[in-house]
């Protein structure tokens, strides 16, 4: 730890240190609090908090004494100390009056680039965002992603607020735990309560099932919707008997679940929470009148949501542009946007990565007030850095991804034409980064992230993970600049 002596001496004198002698100093992190001076540094590929100057803050930080100061690991315990003394390192809710962007960080090292991309734009970053699926596939925890985001905010000296989204959460125990941990955003995934089977059922079976509902439940719905027309900013939403019965059966159980989670968890939380309803990851495309039905029921039941993610027409597959009829998409997106405005929440766009052809449409009709969710695209930008800086590692990962691709289809719906991917042996090192501009290669890597980052050899040694992070952390600025360019393109086209 002697390499930090000079930095600690500088801190002890109350001065801001600068990088030298192989120690990278993140000068934006420099803080002075209650007589203690702090800065984040990197030596090799390891990051630390350096502290000098006695105070309660200094005493509470856990670290190794060096000179008159301390060298502190970026541990969960030390993150909690930063949270206690620096409010800006704690995630917050933003409500419905400003655009937000989900920037899921599967690696725990993307947030500095995300912060640089968003800090001077009309959007707030939800830096900590991982679905239960991503956490499971990466063997990470909700605490891990909060730690990574908080330290990144401190490293960058970013004090304008960020969020933390417990994404695609389905179980009440996970909801309660996420709120307890301090998440500021909850994406309730109701896909398991949505009755996709109704879509294909016969009219006779549908009517029979509806007839079997309790009388008061049928009266509750019939009295408010049957043969009624609702005017949404000039858009007429009508419910005849067939459409009402279908929406009640498809979404009724899901709406009950939303109401229960809101009343038992969100409304009782001791801090503001951005509550999002996700009905996007279902086979059933959310027709505009279905969106209205769900939203009107939430309003009737006193459930306040800050955003809602419908399942749009066409396909929002991972890591590639929109697939579908742009005219139909524009028509329906306009209607969804008007419905969201009518009820006072933001439209949420899931799998928002790389949907460049529809961003202008989305930005136009949401008038720049939306939530857009991305995650895998920044993982692909990391893969691009590997392709540039460590071709041999990229080649080994590419082969492994091809060999294990089928395993990932249980988790993700992607339909890449893998035969269109240029043979690796025919591709020069210089051309490897071009794979990240090819749809099928992008999807190949997009969904195999978990398999690649947890793969081990027969002795239990990481096949790729250690070398992957070493390469990435030795090329931080390249990764940061790649994110600023790529995520920035998303925001430019959305008008944010
Ligand atoms: O891959 C995941 O599970 C998440 O990134 C999830 O898809 C997320 O809700 C999303 O839409 C990111 O684009």
131 alpha carbon to ligand 1 midpoint, in Å? 6
For residues 31 and 88, what is the distance between their CA atoms, to the nearest angstrom?
A: 12
How far, in Å, is the centroid of ligand 1 from the Cα of 401? 19
Ligand 1, atom 1: closest residue by C-alpha: 134
State the first-to-last Cα distance of the chain, in angstroms, to the nearest integer. 44
Q: Please count the other Cβ atoms lying within 10 Å of the Cβ belonging to residue 458.
A: 5
3-state secondary structure 102-168: EECCCCCCCHHHHHHHHCCCCEEEEEEEEEHHHHHHHCCCHHHHHHHHHHHHHHHCCCCCCEEEEEE
Task: Please identify which of the residues 276, 332, 338, 354 carries the catalytic annotation.
Answer: 276
Minimal-distance CA residue to ligand 1 atom 9: 350
pLDDT in tens, 447-469: 999 999 999 999 999 999 999 99
* Ligand 1 nearest-atom number relative to CA 374: 13
- Kindly give the number of the ligand 1 atom that is closest to the alpha carbon of 412: 1
Pocket test for ligand 1, best of 114, 350, 352 (most atoms within 8 A of CB): 350
- How far is it, in rounded angstroms, from Cα 60 to Cα 82? 10
The residue whose two tokens read 């999807």 is 443
From 145, 349, 373, 443, the mutation candidate for ligand 1 (largest count of ligand atoms within 8 A of CB) is 373
Of 105, 134, 147, 167, which residue is the catalytic one?
167
Return the pLDDT at 47: 98
Ligand 1 is surrounded, with C-beta below 6 A, by 104, 131, 133-134, 167-168, 350-353, 373-376
29 Cα to the center of ligand 1, angstroms: 30
Q: Which residue, by CA, sits nearest to atom 10 of ligand 1?
A: 351
Tens digit of each residue's pLDDT, the chain (496 residues): 889 999 999 999 999 999 988 999 999 999 999 999 999 999 999 999 999 999 999 999 999 999 999 999 999 999 999 999 999 999 999 999 999 999 999 999 999 999 999 999 999 999 999 999 999 999 999 999 999 999 999 999 999 999 999 999 999 999 999 999 999 999 999 999 999 999 889 989 999 999 999 999 999 999 999 999 999 999 999 999 999 999 999 999 999 999 999 999 999 999 999 999 999 888 888 999 999 999 999 999 999 999 999 999 999 999 999 999 999 999 999 999 999 999 999 999 999 999 999 999 999 999 999 999 999 999 999 999 999 999 999 999 999 999 999 999 999 999 999 999 999 999 999 999 999 999 999 999 999 999 999 999 999 999 999 999 999 999 999 999 999 999 999 999 999 9
Q: What is the pLDDT of residues 285-299, one digit of tens each?
A: 899 999 999 999 999
pTM of the model: 0.96
Which CATH number among 3.20.20.70, 3.40.190.10, 3.90.1150.10, 3.30.70.260 corresponds to the domain 89-200+207-376? Answer: 3.20.20.70
The pLDDT score that the predictor gives to residue 54 is 95
Q: Is 276 a catalytic residue?
A: yes
Ligand 1 atom closest to residue 350's alpha carbon, by position in its atom list? 11
CA distance 194 to 202: 17
CB 288 within 8 A of CB 237: yes
DSSP class of 456: B
For residue 261, the CA-to-ligand 1 centroid distance in Å is 21
pLDDT at 282: 85
Instruction: Report domain extents, the chain.
Output: 2-75, 89-200+207-376, 389-480
* 406 is known as an active-site residue: no
**What is the distance in A from the centroid of ligand 1 to the CA of 373?**
7
- Distance from Cα 412 to the centre of ligand 1, integer Å: 10
In ligand 1, which atom is closest to the CA atom of 102?
12
């Amino acid at each position: 730890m002697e390499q930090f002596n000079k930095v600690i001496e500088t801190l002890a004198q109350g001065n801001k240190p600068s990088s030298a002698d192989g120690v990278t100093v993140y000068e934006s992190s420099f803080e002075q609090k209650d007589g203690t001076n702090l800065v984040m540094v990197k030596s090799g590929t390891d990051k630390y908090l350096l502290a000098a100057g006695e105070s309660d803050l200094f005493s509470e930080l856990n670290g190794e004494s060096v000179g008159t100061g301390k060298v502190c690991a970026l541990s969960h315990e030390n993150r909690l100390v930063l949270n206690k003394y620096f409010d800006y390192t704690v995630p917050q809710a933003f409500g419905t009056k400003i655009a937000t962007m989900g920037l899921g960080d599967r690696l725990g090292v993307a947030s500095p680039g995300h912060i640089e991309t968003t800090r001077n734009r009309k959007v707030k970053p939800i830096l900590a965002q991982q679905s239960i699926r991503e956490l499971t596939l990466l063997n990470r925890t909700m605490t891990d992603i909060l730690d990574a985001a908080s330290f990144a905010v401190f490293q960058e000296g970013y004090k304008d607020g960020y969020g933390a989204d417990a994404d695609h959460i389905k179980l009440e125990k996970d909801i309660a735990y996420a709120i307890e941990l301090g998440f500021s955003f909850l994406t309730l995934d109701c896909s398991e309560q949505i009755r996709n089977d109704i879509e294909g059922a016969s009219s006779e079976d549908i009517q029979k099932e509806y007839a079997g509902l309790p009388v008061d439940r049928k009266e509750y719905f019939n009295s408010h919707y049957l043969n009624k027309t609702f005017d949404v900013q000039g858009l007429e939403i009508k419910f005849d008997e067939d459409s009402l019965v279908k929406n009640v059966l498809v979404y009724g159980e899901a709406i009950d679940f939303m109401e229960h989670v809101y009343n038992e968890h969100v409304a009782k939380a001791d801090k503001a929470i951005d509550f999002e309803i996700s009905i996007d990851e279902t086979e059933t495309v959310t027709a505009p009148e279905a969106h209205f039905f769900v939203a009107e029921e939430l309003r009737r039941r006193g459930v306040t949501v800050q955003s809602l993610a419908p399942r749009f027409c066409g396909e929002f597959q991972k890591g590639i542009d929109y697939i579908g009829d742009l005219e139909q998409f524009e028509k329906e997106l306009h209607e969804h946007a008007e419905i969201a405005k009518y009820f006072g929440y933001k439209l949420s766009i899931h799998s928002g990565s790389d949907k460049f052809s529809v961003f202008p449409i989305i930005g136009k009709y949401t008038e720049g007030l939306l939530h857009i969710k991305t995650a895998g695209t920044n993982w692909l930008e990391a893969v691009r850095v590997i392709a540039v800086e460590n071709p041999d590692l990229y080649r080994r990962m590419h082969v492994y991804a091809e060999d294990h691709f089928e395993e990932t289809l249980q988790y993700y719906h992607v339909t890449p034409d893998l035969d269109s991917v240029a043979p690796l042996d025919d591709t020069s090192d210089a051309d490897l980064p071009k794979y990240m501009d090819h749809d099928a290669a992008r999807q190949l890597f997009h969904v195999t992230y978990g398999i690649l980052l947890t793969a081990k050899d027969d002795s239990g040694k990481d096949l790729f993970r250690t070398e992957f992070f070493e390469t990435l952390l030795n090329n931080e600025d390249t990764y940061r600049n790649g994110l600023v360019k790529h995520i920035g393109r998303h925001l430019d086209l959305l008008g944010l």
